[in-house]
Amino acid sequence: MKKPISVGVVGCGYWGPNLIRNFRSLADCRLKSICDVSEDRLRHLQTLYPEVETETKYDKLLGDPNLDVIVVATSVKHHFPMAKAALLAGKHTFIEKPMASSLEQCEELVSLAKKQGLILMVGHTFLYSPAVRKIKELVDKGDVGEIRYISARRLNLGLFQKDINVAWDLAPHDISIILYIMGETPLRINCVGAAHVTPGIEDVTAMHLHFSAEKTATIQSSWLDPKKVREMTIVGSKRMIVYDDIVAQEKIKIFDVRVDRPPHYDTFAEFHYAYHYGDTYSPYIKQDEPLKTECQHFLDCIRTGKTPITSGQKGLEVVRILEASSASLKLNGAPIDLPPVGRDGRASSTSTPPMKSSKSTPPMSSGRTK
């Protein structure tokens, strides 16, 4: 019988208890310790999980020789120092999204994990969602044809943040999903927005990602909408998919519709677009909790040495896009070119974007999954 992997979770606020619950439920995992500065939170969680050790000092987790893994579920400003300390202590490390406050910090964590021979994973939970995995399957099989564009909307009224803009707060989910579906990173970013409530902190943003081969994606994020919306549309040359994460059933609807340009015509009178209207259907999707799947995947990667689906490198790519969006916002929506990323996870010096990647507005977050 294989020895359970020993896990400690730091951060017991909004999202931490969900990670605690899921890691504790896994057969090959021993939830050993939970850590938080709030003794009230620790007391509450100990009533639910009396066998789990509680600690207010993070150094105690770092110095525990019987702890294999540290899960960082704190606000983003603490992600880098805590993850770096965990890796230096020889612990496999799981970080909630966004991975860190800057591209420079992400690069250091990726490099350190590689040097230490440890698994570094980022909590982009939606990539473990059965609905998103089904979309990826349909795209890879060619059922939708060539992707033309993806449109994402993540809207609600609040929760207003005082130290980050809405793009850093809401867009990481959509960025990670789009990169996963596209299978490539964008070449250029535009972002515009407005700060209606708190001066200097945008509560509405529209981000535009330019990929190769005329493929684009748009992400609309807002804290100022009366209705909660979590919707993404994938438009292909053969079919189109609408993904609605709010509904309990039929989260994916496939539309067999398209428009075709005539291949040959001699005169304008002969030019006619051909519109195809077919059936609309919703495929069966097995209902599994994405977070539980994500936690199990992390443990599996530790045992096998495989690279996680949401590796540190993938988390770095999301932060790189967020930093570019911040730079574009400061330039009133001017395009920001993204240099290619090398095998070491660092941006190539041959193409430098007009921004200082490590000096962007610090993207602090409460770690909520919205």
Q: Which residues are CB-contacts of 211 (< 8 A; sequence separation ≥ 6)?
A: 182, 184, 185, 186, 187, 217
**Residue 59 identity:** D
Q: Name the pLDDT band for 1 (thresholds 50, 70, 90).
A: low
Share of the chain above pLDDT 70, in %: 86
Q: Among 81, 100, 126, which residue terminates a domain?
A: 126
Q: Among 111, 126, 141, which residue terminates a domain?
A: 126
Q: Does 170 lie in the same domain as 108?
A: no
SS3 readout for 129-191: CHHHHHHHHHHHCCCCCCEEEEEEEEEEECCCCCCCCHHHHHHHHHHHHHHHHHCCCCCEEEE
70 against 214, higher pLDDT? 70
Residue range 270-291: average pLDDT? 79
| Spatial separation of the C-alpha atoms in residues 88 and 264, rounded to whole Å | 63
Q: Does 139 lie in the same domain as 235?
A: yes
Q: Are 256 and 145 in contact (CB under 8 A)?
A: no
Say if 161 falls within a structural domain. yes
Q: Are 237 and 202 in contact (CB under 8 A)?
A: no
Residue range 26-42: average pLDDT? 96
pLDDT on residue 368 = 47
- Top mean-pLDDT range of 56-70, 151-165, 346-360: 56-70
Total structural domains within the chain: 2
Task: Write down the mean pLDDT value for the chain.
Answer: 89
* CATH number of the CATH domain containing 73: 3.40.50.720
* CATH number of the CATH domain containing 173: 3.30.360.10
Q: Does 91 lie in the same domain as 25?
A: yes
Q: Does 353 lie in the same domain as 213?
A: yes
Q: Among 126, 153, 169, which residue terminates a domain?
A: 126
DSSP 8-state symbol, 261: -
Token readout for 170 is 């809401």
Q: Are 128 and 294 in contact (CB under 8 A)?
A: yes
pLDDT at 351 over 60: no
Say if 370 falls within a structural domain. no
Query: What's the pTM value of the predicted model, to 2 decimals?
Result: 0.87
Q: Name the pLDDT band for 260 (thresholds 50, 70, 90).
A: low
pLDDT on residue 267 = 55
Give 240's Cβ-side CA count (13 Å radius).
17
State the angle between helix axes of 130-140 and 166-182 in degrees (0 to 180), rounded to the nearest 10. 40
pLDDT on residue 281 = 87
User: pLDDT tens digit string along 185-228?
Assistant: 999 999 999 999 999 999 999 999 999 888 999 999 999 999 99
| Spatial separation of the C-alpha atoms in residues 330 and 315, rounded to whole Å | 23
Query: What residues are paired with 10 via a beta bridge?
Result: 35, 72
User: pLDDT tens digit string along 74-121?
Assistant: 988 899 999 999 999 999 999 999 999 999 999 999 999 999 999 999
Residue range 254-264: average pLDDT? 75
pLDDT at 70 over 90: yes
Domain that holds residue 322: 130-289+317-359
Question: Phi-psi category of 333—alpha, beta or left, where left has phi over 0 and alpha has psi -120 to 50?
Answer: left
Tell me which residue of 251, 208, 202, 240 sits closest to 222, measured CA to CA.
Answer: 202
Q: Name the pLDDT band for 276 (thresholds 50, 70, 90).
A: low
